[in-house]
Structures are given as C-alpha cells and as structure tokens.
Chain A
C-alpha cells in the first residue's frame, strides 16, 4: 500500500542510537502513540472501500431512476399530446410541426432529442395510432363496399393498421417496435387515409395482438408513444452492456 501523498499525518520513525532510544525533536504535526499510527488511514480506507461503491451505485441508480422516470414521463406526455393531435385537430396541435415537437423535446431535456428526423441525436420518439380494422374502418375506407366485411372486400379487416405516424429524433438509429407504415401513405400531418387503413396491406403494424403490445377489439385503437435514448453518459462503471433506455406509453 502506498502512503504517498499522506505525509502530513505520517509519524516520524524513531532513531536508534546505541541502547538509547532517542526521539527526534517534536514536530508541529500530530503525535500518535506507536500502536495507533496509521489506524485512521486504515479505517478511512476501509470505510471508503465500502462507501465509494455504495455512493457510486446509489448515484448511478439514482440517475437511472431519474432518466427512467423522465423517459416514461416524456412518453406519457407525448401520448397526451397525441390524443389532442389525433382527436381534436382543431386545437391546432399538429405534431408534425417542429414548434409543437419542441414541447416534447423540452420535456426530454438532457436526453439528446431534437425535432425533425435526423441521424445524429441521442434519442428518438415514435408516435403511432394503431387501429384494429373493423366495420367502421372498412365502411370509411372501401369505396362502394358494404357489410358483411371480410379480408376479401376489405383487405386489412381484422388486422392492425396504422392510422397515424410521426417520428422525430434519430430515426436512423432506432426503429419502432410496431414497424413503419409506407411513407407514401403518411400525409404531412401524420395522418393516413381511410382507404389506406382499410386496404393497403403494407400499412399493417407488427408486434400487436396476442403476445404483442396490446390486443384491441375491432375498430378500437391505441395511441402509442415510444422513446429510445442513449444514456452512455450516466453509465458509470459500465453497469449496462447496452446503455440504451426504452419507454412506451399506450393510451
């Protein structure tokens, strides 16, 4: 064990001269009995050996919890905004617009989220509205068709299809667990036409239904916000092999 750097508390060694033991002149520093010399340092070292990992772990867990809560809150806030955007467009909340995306970006402060689609940020947000195509969607989307509906007269009948998709942040690094609608189907404001919902078989969402994210009744829909974030900056002692957090909220 090195004592380097501990000279202020290092006791002076006695000088042997014949049989007499002569102590060097008293220094101005602390004087400790021979048996106690170094005990404080040892105790300090013992304590630190325990405390440092404890505090580091607590700090790391605390940061992780904080980021986890933040990610979760961002997703929930995004879902709430999406409720407004998709069910009350008159409110003017078009989440395809950068100024409205900034509401979410602000909530994700410190996570490296940016508006628009890019390939350099540290996080991404996917906003999706997925519907189980049923009689309502077929009625709206199949021109001249009529009930009873089936896959033959309404190709996406009984399937999960996208009604809405907005993505911003580093979209090139992470993909939605739901897959992606054809870009040609998605209007500039994120909406997808009734016809594409009902008939475009490429507009189906994945990872839904039994064993997936959620099972929906026909014509019921779910608003799903997903967020990925790279949290390498808080990965102290490399606790995680893959320092990426993922959160999802469904409404």
Chain B
C-alpha cells in the first residue's frame, strides 16, 4: 500500500522537473535564436567584405596616382560595405559608432624569390557586434563578429605601340595623328597607377618614347604622347619586337602582358642582314650615275608597262635599269632597316634605307666589300640612316632574305585552316608572297565614308600584265637560289619593288606576332586598333586580325553588306586571343581606344 507521506512529498515534482527542463529548453531555444542571428550577421558581414574587396580592386582604375588609388580603394570599399551591410543590420552595432569603415590594405604578391609577380591583393576586414537576446542573461549583450575578404587584381603590363608614319598626317584638320594623340591621352587615364604602361612610337625606326612604369600619371607619359609628331615609314616588325623586349624586362609573368598596336596601314620596314649585290642584274632604278643615261646600264626606258602608261608614270626611278653593275665583288651583308618609300605600288617608286630599326641601334655601312671598296650609291660617301640618298639602297643589296634579323619568316606564318582556305594560303603558310596591293577597288556601302573606295589587293596572278608580275626575281642573277616561295619559283624577294617590300613586311609582322604570342612565360596578348583607309595604302582584311590572333576575319568598312566573316586562316587556339577593332573614321579613335581599355580592365579585374 502506498505511503501517503511519500505521495505528499511527490506533489509538485513534475512541475519542478518541468521547470528545470524549461530552463534548459528556453536556454537551448535562446541559444538557437542567438546563434542563428550570429550566423546571419556573420554571413552578411562576410559577403559585405568580399564585395568591398572586389569593389576596391576595381576602383584603382579610376585613379591617376598611387595616393589617389589608395583613397579610391578605401572610399569604394566603404560604400560597397555599407550597401551590403546596412547600419543596424539585425540590431548589430560597431565599436566606436553606428557607422563603420572597413580596413583596406593593398599588397603586391611576390614569387618564391620575393619578386613582385604582377598580382595586387586587396584585403578588407570588418568587425561587427552581434546582439544577443537570451545569452545576455549570462552577461553577454553582444558578441564581436569579424570577417575578412581578399580580392586579387591581375596587374596590367601594357606597351602601347603607336604608328607615327607619314600617312598619319592625312587627312588634315585635324590629322589622324592628332586624333590618335587625343585618343591615347584619354586612354591612359582609364587605367590604374598600379598598372605598368610604356610607349613605343614607330615609323622606320621604333623608339622607346616612355619606358614602362607604374604611377605613370605622375610621370611624363601624357606629355610624351602630346609631343608626338608623325612622319616617315612603318617598321611594325621592329616596333612589336621592341615592345616585346620591354614586357620581358618588366618581368611580371602573372600580370596581363599586353601589346596594344595602333596602325593606319601596311607595314613597310624590314630589318635584316641584306646580302650585298655581287652580280649585275636588271632592276628598278634610279641609276647609279646622273644624269640618267638614255642608254647603257640604266637607260630611261619609259613607261612601257600598260598600267604605268595608263596612270602617266614618268619618274626615272620607276624604270627598270638593265644590267645594273654590281657594287661588290664578293659576298657580304649589310644590316639595317629598309622601307618602301612612297606608294606601295608594283613598279619603281623607291626603296629607302638603311635605317636604324630602333633608337638603341645604329647602322654602319661596310667600308670594304671583298677586294673592292664599296661602291656606294651615287652621292653617298658616308651613308647614314635616312640620308638624302637613302633611296639608292636597292642598288646595294641583292635581295630580301628569307628571315629577318629577329628570325621571323619573311614568307608568312603557319596556316591552321585545313579546308576552304582563302587564296593567300599557299604551301601551308598564310602569305603575302604573291599579293598585289594597288588593285581590286571596293567601295563602301556607307556613302558617307571618305574616301568611299579603296584597293583591297588581289593575287598577282590575276593581274599578269601589271608591273613585273611577281614579288620575286624571275630572271637574272637572283632568279634562283633562294627559298621556294608562294609563286612557285625559287627566285629571291625583290628589294627594289615597293609592293614586294610591303609583302615581306606583312609576312614578317605576322611571324613576329606569332613568335611573341608563343611565349609561355608571359603569355602576351596583342590587341590591335586599325584605322583603315588612311593614306594611299591598300586596305587589308586579314593581316591585322592575324596579328591579333582574332578568331574571325571581320568585314572592313569597305566590304559590301553581303560580306560574311570567315575563320582566321592562321588562328592559333593555343595562343592568347587578342582584340581587334577597325574603323575608317578617325573621329572614332577615342571610342575605340576606350573600348580597348574596357576589354583590358575587364580581363585584369
């Protein structure tokens, strides 16, 4: 029988037990609420500092100096932090006030040797006090919550390569040169002072106008661009090579290494060890003596070519000089840059040189050539670059070699198309070996375009009656013995014919770009802005997309609306793809440069 005393003592036990359990239950529920709040604040804080770090990384593009960049990073981080973590979020607070400025630090990453590698880190940290609702019973009214975020910004190393050839001086008021200067000056304001920017300007000689550096906004880059004057020729190969050497010297392999090439036309400069002419042959003048003889080694044969006759060519230098005597009795070379001078036509015009390819090079003519004293061209007793008689260089050199001084193949670049290749793909190369420039006129569907029509070039075989019919010697001492070329002969590349020099220069430029893009340490990107239709050059649809390694060949402003873009026949999937922008309107240059900046900054973010 139950003891009533025991029963009495058990009265209220359940209530006591439940009270105890209730305390535990309430504490557990309270802990859940407090921890849940803590978790939400922590998650929000983490997202806010991440957003702040990303925004800080972008903001440095809006500054011109390092101090401005630091300020912009802090200000922007603060704005994005506040936007994602509003004051009083879930009743949280900050030590020292209701608003909060996160801590922002910028650090350059380094490689294992302690050298900068081109990556800039933005570290943002913030601490908020999360309120407690139940745990404050135990004396904790808030719990500090700290979160940190890091954003990495890939640095930019950019060499601007600006064409300052004479064609940039047209049209006038304002010239394309002036428009380019204005666009480039605006362009450099769009980058961060943490980026490294340098400037190569080029005509026949490429010059390091501004050595690559950071904080260029405090330097002279802007004024150096403003001081540009345009004139002379277009040695694009040397300019690209020079820019590439600068990128390597900066030595930031993890940065975005970029060459931005701006040009308005065809390259026409070649740096090579040119063989001296040891055999007499027939080639374009001028004669080695004045006045030009009416007979003999360089008689004035007159405009016998039907095409020349039709356009009234009468200049003496544009005539073939039969049996032009050699300048050397034994083999030798002379090294320097030659260029096509004047129109890129298929007849005489002029060849120009020798010139220093870059501002750090010099050119020295040999004083002897075998057993003979070098028979310098007429009037030239101490030939220097771009001297008044530089046009006579084509009597001195025998031919354009297969490779230039940088090792570039002057016959083109490897084709990657396997079927349906365009006509300029011959023997596995995309080549201009067989290309004739001043033909095949196309007129733009845009009637407002000026000039409305331009030559786009064509295969020389489709114009057999024009000029010599080839970029190679087809008769005489140099009609054999050179590498087989796109014309199916092994004649040597003519140095006396402007059209041929342009062809070799284009081939060499495509090859130089291929070499640069093959660098697996710096992974250079080549971006190109093409002001087409300027000057007297033919426009070229494929050349610059190939240089940029752009996937397709887009239309030129002169192409009909029915034009269908096709695959770049030399596109290299294993190399960096560049950006290619083209316009025939010089007033669009500011916009195109700005678009290029957006592309570069997009990739570097």
Q: Which residues of A contact B (CB under 8 A)?
A: 33, 35-36, 39-40, 43, 46-47, 50-51, 54-55, 58, 61-62, 65, 68-69, 72-73, 76, 79, 83, 87-88, 135-136, 139-147, 194, 213-222, 249-251
Residues of A within 8 A of B22 (CB): 47, 50-51
| Interface of chain A, main secondary structure | helix
5 closest residue pairs by CB, A with B: A139-B594, A214-B83, A251-B51, A144-B587, A65-B36
Residues of B within 8 A of A219 (CB): 62, 190
* A218 x B62 contact (CB < 8 A): yes
**A146 nearest CB neighbor, chain B only:** B590
B517 within 8 A of partner (CB):
no
Residues of A within 8 A of B603 (CB): 88
**A216 nearest CB neighbor, chain B only:** B79
| Interface of chain B, main secondary structure | helix
Residues of A within 8 A of B595 (CB): 140, 194
B39 within 8 A of partner (CB):
yes
* A36 x B11 contact (CB < 8 A): yes
Residues of A within 8 A of B182 (CB): 146
* A139 x B44 contact (CB < 8 A): no
Q: Which of B36, B79, B186 is the one whose CB lies under 8 Å from A214? A: B79
- Report 12 cross-chain contacts, Cβ distance below 8 Å, ordered by A residue: A68-B40, A72-B43, A88-B603, A136-B594, A136-B598, A139-B591, A214-B80, A217-B72, A220-B76, A222-B55, A249-B47, A250-B80
Interchain CA distance A215-B76 in the complex, whole Å: 9
Q: Mark B16-28, 1 if CB is under 8 A from A, else 0.
A: 0010001001100
Residues of B within 8 A of A141 (CB): 591
Known: A65-B37, A79-B51, A250-B83. 5 other contacts (CB 8 A): A39-B14, A51-B25, A55-B29, A135-B186, A217-B62
* B11 x A39 contact (CB < 8 A): yes
* B25 x A140 contact (CB < 8 A): no
* B594 x A83 contact (CB < 8 A): no
B360 within 8 A of partner (CB):
no
Give the Cβ gap from B84 to chain A, nearest Cβ, in Å. Answer: 5
Interchain CA distance A51-B29 in the complex, whole Å: 11
Give the Cβ gap from B90 to chain A, nearest Cβ, in Å. Answer: 9
Q: A69-B39, A251-B80 are in contact. Are A139 and B602 (CB under 8 A)?
A: no
Interchain CA distance A100-B460 in the complex, whole Å: 51
Q: Which of B18, B26, B58, B84 is the one whose CB lies under 8 Å from A54? A: B26
Q: Which of B47, B75, B605 is the one whose CB lies under 8 Å from A87? A: B605
Residues of B within 8 A of A147 (CB): 186
Give the Cβ gap from B111 to chain A, nearest Cβ, in Å. Answer: 25
* A35 x B11 contact (CB < 8 A): yes
**B605 nearest CB neighbor, chain A only:** A87
Interface centre among B18, B26, B76, B594 (most CB of A within 10 A): B594
Q: How many A-B residue pairs have CB under 8 A?
A: 114
Q: Mark B137-164, 1 if CB is under 8 A from A, else 0.
A: 0000000000000000000000000000
Q: A147-B186, A216-B79 are in contact. Are A251 and B55 (CB under 8 A)?
A: yes
* A62 x B36 contact (CB < 8 A): yes
Q: Which of B4, B25, B37 is the one whose CB lies under 8 Å from A33? A: B4
* Residue total for B at the interface (Cβ-Cβ under 8 A): 51
Interchain CA distance A250-B59 in the complex, whole Å: 15
Q: A39-B14, A136-B597 are in contact. Are A215 and B7 (CB under 8 A)?
A: no
Q: A43-B15, A140-B594 are in contact. Are A62 and B32 (CB under 8 A)?
A: yes
Residues of B within 8 A of A51 (CB): 22, 25
Interchain CA distance A61-B598 in the complex, whole Å: 46
Interchain CA distance A65-B133 in the complex, whole Å: 15
Interchain CA distance A61-B182 in the complex, whole Å: 61
* B598 x A54 contact (CB < 8 A): no
Q: Which of B33, B40, B47 is the one whose CB lies under 8 Å from A58? A: B33
Give the Cβ gap from A145 to chain B, nearest Cβ, in Å. Answer: 8
Q: A135-B189, A142-B591 are in contact. Are A58 and B83 (CB under 8 A)?
A: no
* A143 x B591 contact (CB < 8 A): yes
Give the Cβ gap from B45 to chain A, nearest Cβ, in Å. Answer: 11
* A72 x B44 contact (CB < 8 A): yes
Give the Cβ gap from A37 to chain B, nearest Cβ, in Å. Answer: 12
Interchain CA distance A216-B77 in the complex, whole Å: 11
* A58 x B186 contact (CB < 8 A): no
B54 within 8 A of partner (CB):
yes
Interface centre among B11, B36, B40, B189 (most CB of A within 10 A): B36
B588 within 8 A of partner (CB):
yes
* B76 x A217 contact (CB < 8 A): yes
Give the Cβ gap from B155 to chain A, nearest Cβ, in Å. Answer: 16
Interface centre among A55, A79, A139, A220 (most CB of B within 10 A): A139
Residues of B within 8 A of A213 (CB): 83
Give the Cβ gap from B439 to chain A, nearest Cβ, in Å. Answer: 32
Give the Cβ gap from B44 to chain A, nearest Cβ, in Å. Answer: 7
Give the Cβ gap from A224 to chain B, nearest Cβ, in Å. Answer: 9
Residues of B within 8 A of A250 (CB): 51, 80, 83-84
Residues of A within 8 A of B59 (CB): 217, 220
Give the Cβ gap from A60 to chain B, nearest Cβ, in Å. Answer: 11
Q: A43-B18, A50-B22, A249-B47 are in contact. Are A88 and B602 (CB under 8 A)?
A: yes
* A140 x B602 contact (CB < 8 A): no
Q: Which of B55, B62, B189, B591 is the one whose CB lies under 8 Å from A140? A: B591
* A144 x B588 contact (CB < 8 A): yes
Q: A36-B11, A54-B26, A215-B79 are in contact. Are A76 and B47 (CB under 8 A)?
A: yes
**A40 nearest CB neighbor, chain B only:** B14
Residues of B within 8 A of A46 (CB): 15
Interchain CA distance A79-B48 in the complex, whole Å: 12
* B7 x A249 contact (CB < 8 A): no
Residues of B within 8 A of A72 (CB): 40, 43-44, 47
Residues of B within 8 A of A215 (CB): 79
Interchain CA distance A62-B72 in the complex, whole Å: 40
* B51 x A249 contact (CB < 8 A): yes
**B28 nearest CB neighbor, chain A only:** A58
Interchain CA distance A39-B137 in the complex, whole Å: 32
Interchain CA distance A73-B44 in the complex, whole Å: 9
**A86 nearest CB neighbor, chain B only:** B602
Residues of B within 8 A of A142 (CB): 591
Residues of A within 8 A of B44 (CB): 72
Quick one: which of B551-605 are within 8 Å of A by CB? 585, 587-588, 590-591, 593-595, 597-598, 602-603, 605
* B594 x A220 contact (CB < 8 A): no
Q: Mark B70-104, 1 if CB is under 8 A from A, else 0.
A: 00100110011011100000000000000000000
* B29 x A54 contact (CB < 8 A): yes
* A69 x B40 contact (CB < 8 A): yes
